[in-house]
Chains A and B, each alone.
Chain A
Amino acid sequence: MSDKFISIEGIAKRYPGAGGATTTIFEDLWLSMARGEFACVIGHSGCGKTTVLNILAGLDAPSEGAVIVDGQAISGTSLDRAVIFQSHALLPWRTVLGNVAYAVSSKWRSWDRAKVRAHAQKFIDLVGLSGSEHKRPSELSGGMKQRVGIARALSITPKMMLMDEPFSALDALTRGTLQDEVRRICLETGQTAFMITHDVDEAIYLADKIFLMTNGPGAVLAEVVENPLPRDRGRTDLHRHPLYYALRNHIIDFLVTRSKTFVAETPGHDPRNVPVVQIGKPGLSIAANGEEQRQTWIPGPSPGLTA
């Protein structure tokens, strides 16, 4: 974690409220991610998750603080940071190929048509949409539309992918398949990914690190949960892992009760040094923010119980 590929440093978002008052969605938010890491943010609606993602994407500017990506403070959007939108946001007057090619030709402006097409085709094949290149978005199912969204994001070979609940509008079966695809693609290409989700199982399956946010307004990043599950985990036997339930229960408990009470119960919470929760790993210390480390240890079930 010494390699801070993405570093969010003390950002805040405030909106002017009624009668001259300001509403603070969140403030003094610090978090960092390493290259190739997959992070999920979980929190209730209104805690500012989407705002954090929009700031990372450059679509929104923080009221305070800065975001540093790969050693450089960001200002505005960039082709290095691809966004997969919740509503897929395909241009309905373009075909599947046209939508992906639009992104490709935006990144490599000097490329000729044939080269753009060939490059776009490669990513359409990658998400399994070969044969549907010339269909319009209205002719596609929700899952296929989101595949196009993923192909469009990947086609510009970004340094990181930002996903705002990309699968929340899909049925469970399609969601599962797309989660597999995203996980496969991210592992294969070593993509750094930042994803917002409401689905605890999705976070456990995909993420290396899970950021838990308390309720807004005045939301804070409460904990960083490290995923103890092995990297080669499969979606179908996830729940058989001995630490799965401890992890899941920890997140659910947070969402159900602690997300409301965390701020009041934790007066000493240091937003620059958010506790890292390592489920089932007592005493193992990993330098988080390069400073002293506070740790919470949640015991996992003993092997005898799960056997």
Chain B
Amino acid sequence: MNNTSLRVRAGLVSIVLLAAFLGIWHIATRSTGTTTTMSPEYAKLMGLTATQGKSAMPGPLDVGAKLWEHLKRPFYDNGPNDKGLGIQLGYSIARVGTGYLLAVLVAIPLGFLIGMSPLLSKALDPFIQVLKPISPLAWMPLALYTIKDSSVSAIFVIFICSIWPMLLNTVFGVASVRKEWINVARTLEVGTIRRAFTVILPAAAPTILTGMRISIGIAWLVIVAAEMLVGGTGIGYFVWNEWNNLSITNVIIAILLIGVVGMLLDQILARFTRMVTFPE
């Protein structure tokens, strides 16, 4: 009961904070009335920013109206530079999904091998230590040069940035499976393959999933920047395109949606993590 009341109170505080933020935003960007006297024709030319003291920054009502417009027609396609937000987000999610899944396919089996072999672990450590801190965007020119396809290059960048947290967490998870669980499998004469699937994988799964959750977050951070570079489609490209159009409203909407999608991706992985976590 105490827990529910805490949740209700927290929800109330969240709503109050949101309302305060929107209110301040609204007040800060509203028109302040006529500031200069000029001929109506000239005033029309100058726009509300010059004549009414209106901020160039859109207010919450403008953003809300525009967002509603976008949400009503998320999948329209009027050519390369005018696509619905749903299409743009779809491109970004597809790139992140492809790059991320490829990274899962490489990182988890490789992490298993490295984690189970102290020799490999030691031998590969210097490479991982050097490769890990490289900004994924630094790979972009090399990717463009070798792959010669901007869309695939973006996927490669996602692959390379999401592989490290998964790889390192898998190695750590596999290497730190409790000795006693391994010993149980050994005394039961369980073979290496069966041991890997019945003892090591379930024991390391929470750590591996934590790595996957970190990776999806990084991949979603990187896709925006990658798409700004490669252009064409995607939410990152949309942001840059709207900046070039000087449509701050659309930029704000894109920022909001990037946040929401990122949160959803994180929540999905969090749910998977909870599914494989075991209480001790």
Contacts and interface: CB of A to CB of B under 8 A. Distances in A.
Contact of B189 (A77, A83, A87): A77
B199 A107 contact: no
B181 interface: yes
Contacts of A81: 187
Interface string A71-115: 000000111011101010101110000000011001100000000
A111 to B, nearest CB: 14
A156 B280 CA distance: 25
Nearest to A90: B184
A89 B189 contact: no
A199 to B, nearest CB: 22
Contacts of B190: 106
Nearest to B188: A106
A82 B184 CA distance: 9
B187 A57 contact: yes
Interface in B228-280: 276, 278-280
Given A77-B189, A102-B198, A89 B280 contact: no
B181 A107 contact: no
A79 B186 CA distance: 9
Interface string B171-193: 00000001011011011111000
Contacts of A185: none
A89 B183 contact: yes
Contacts, number: 55
Given A91-B202, A103-B188, A138 B183 contact: no
A170 interface: no
Given A91-B199, A136-B278, A136-B279, A79 B188 contact: yes
A59 interface: yes
Contacts of B180: 85, 87, 89
Contact of A92 (B187, B188, B198, B280): B280
A82 B279 contact: no
Given A83-B183, A85-B183, A136-B279, A93 B202 contact: yes
A53 to B, nearest CB: 11
Contacts of B188: 77, 79, 102-103, 106-107, 156
Contacts of B198: 102
Interface in B160-179: 178
A221 to B, nearest CB: 24
Given A85-B183, A85-B184, A87-B180, A93 B189 contact: no
Contact of A82 (B178, B181, B187, B199): B187
A65 B242 CA distance: 79
A92 B279 contact: yes
Contacts of B186: 58-59, 77
A86 to B, nearest CB: 9
A138 B279 contact: yes
Contacts of B181: 89, 91
A85 B179 CA distance: 11
A184 B178 CA distance: 32
A107 B188 CA distance: 7
A59 B216 CA distance: 40
Contacts of B203: 91, 93
Contacts of B199: 91
Given A92-B279, A92-B280, A136-B278, A77 B187 contact: yes
A78 B278 contact: no
Interface string A116-142: 000000000000000000001110000
The 4 closest A-B pairs by CB, nearest first: A89-B180, A106-B188, A138-B279, A93-B278
11 contacts: A58-B186, A77-B187, A78-B187, A78-B189, A83-B183, A83-B184, A85-B180, A89-B180, A107-B188, A136-B279, A156-B188
